[in-house]
Structure 1
């Protein structure tokens, strides 16, 4: 994956050196920052393909930084992998709800980290077909060329993973998918993803596109099975 540039935001020098060493062996271009504020400034002044982000950082913390990046239209689609010593399920859910594409806990395997990075890059790679393709479901439009979702012609900011999930369900309207099937379709079979991750992303999607997330029109739940988009929405 030559020419892919990754920024590591981590305050432990040993971790930065370990991660950077393994990334460079895979031909990634590596930059790093030891605190959140410097990392944010680097992101705003440089172009990166992926961010590896610690949570417990001096200055701006990792959760706050993730939130800032996902709320800014200029950086909302930038893939983020959280790499942290915080192992509580509540922290993992918060990281995913804030828009992180993956969450890895320390201690970690460098080989697994590389596999996760490659999986995230595959699923967040922009789609660039020869002709513009738009899927319209009711007032919801999905532009596959521009990676853009609009609701009543108003842009909706989604993370790359959320876009992939929405697009997959939209392209297969009427079919119910289990969490495991969605994981296989979006992440592939080379990494382990907790099925709860799908629920977190669906919750975020509904918060963005549904008038009443408790009574969804677009992304419905088939109790005990999974999720689907009805094929009769007008």
Structure 2
């Protein structure tokens, strides 16, 4: 698989490349926005790692471009500065599947890449389990979602979040529980969950049944909850 590593720091690119190549991945490097945009437009990559602070267009802007383009399901991991919560939230709202804060452990990043790739490109074979909730139909193996037969484009994380909620309908999960169950994180920024819930609601439109149970968390199809804005 081909991984794009876009960062204006050559040391960061070299370290990340070495770790990803150890995992058998092919790495394409870019140092600025225009070069990165060209690689993304060619759609010859399986996952993009984008630095939020590289010369414009920066990682967030490029993320928005991908999500609005012809291949919106391309997995994206953003690299953000340590402590810059606003950058992380903006990046997630732009459609990023994951983020890693600088300075970071290259091995942690490699593990995040492997996790996102597994979710975005599952092994073929096996029965395509179908989950339904109202007008929403989700197929696990083919990783497709439809509303009344019309396809819906979701990122890898959005798909996993929806699949989890549909598989546990009417059960309430806190943001911490969703972070652990869907992302596999034992700790992290809880706003990650909040942003993905908002994105999922927006993409599903009137067909969504994601309710907010105030003070407790989120659930699909709770009739005794108030829907969040």
For residues 103-139 of structure 1, give each alpha carbon's deviation from its aligned partner in whole angstroms, at most 9, with x where no partner exists.
Answer: 2222222222223222323333337453443323222
Residue aligning to 2:129: 133
Question: Does residue 226 of structure 1 match 2:212?
Answer: no
Find 1:208's aligned residue among 203, 206, 215: 203
Report deviation, 1:161: 0.2
Correspondence for 1:60 among 57, 62, 70? 57
Question: How far 1:162 moved relative to its partner?
Answer: 0.5
Cα-to-partner distance string for 1:155-198 (whole Å, 9 max, x where unaligned) = 22211100110011101112112222222221225x64322211
C-alpha offsets along residues 26-57 of structure 1, whole Å, 9 cap, x if unaligned?
A: 33221111122222222332532221101223
- Does the aligned pair in 2 maintain the 1:221–1:227 contact within 8 Å? yes
In 2, Cα distance between the equivalents of 1:19 and 1:106?
A: 12
TM-score in terms of structure 2 length: 0.86
- Cα distance change on mapping 1:49 and 1:193 into 2, 3 Å: farther
**Residue 217 of structure 1, CA deviation:** 5.2
Question: Given the alignment, which residue of 190, 201, 205 partners 1:195?
Answer: 190
Give SS of 2:192's match: helix
- Residue in structure 2 matching 1:9, options 6, 10, 18: 6
Label 1:165 to 1:108 Cα distance change in 2 as closer, same or farther (>3 A). same
Change (3 A) 1:144 1:111: closer
Summarize the alignment of residues 167-182 of structure 1 with structure 2, pairs less than 5 Å apart: 167-182=163-178
2:156 equivalent in structure 1: 160
Is the CA contact (8 Å cut-off) linking 1:120 and 1:187 kept in structure 2?
A: no
Residue 95 (structure 1) aligned to one of 73, 91, 101: 91
What is the CA distance between 1:209 and its match in structure 2? Answer: 1.3
After superposition, the CA RMSD in angstroms is 2.3
- Structure 1, gaps ≥5 residues long: none
2:66 corresponds in structure 1 to: 69
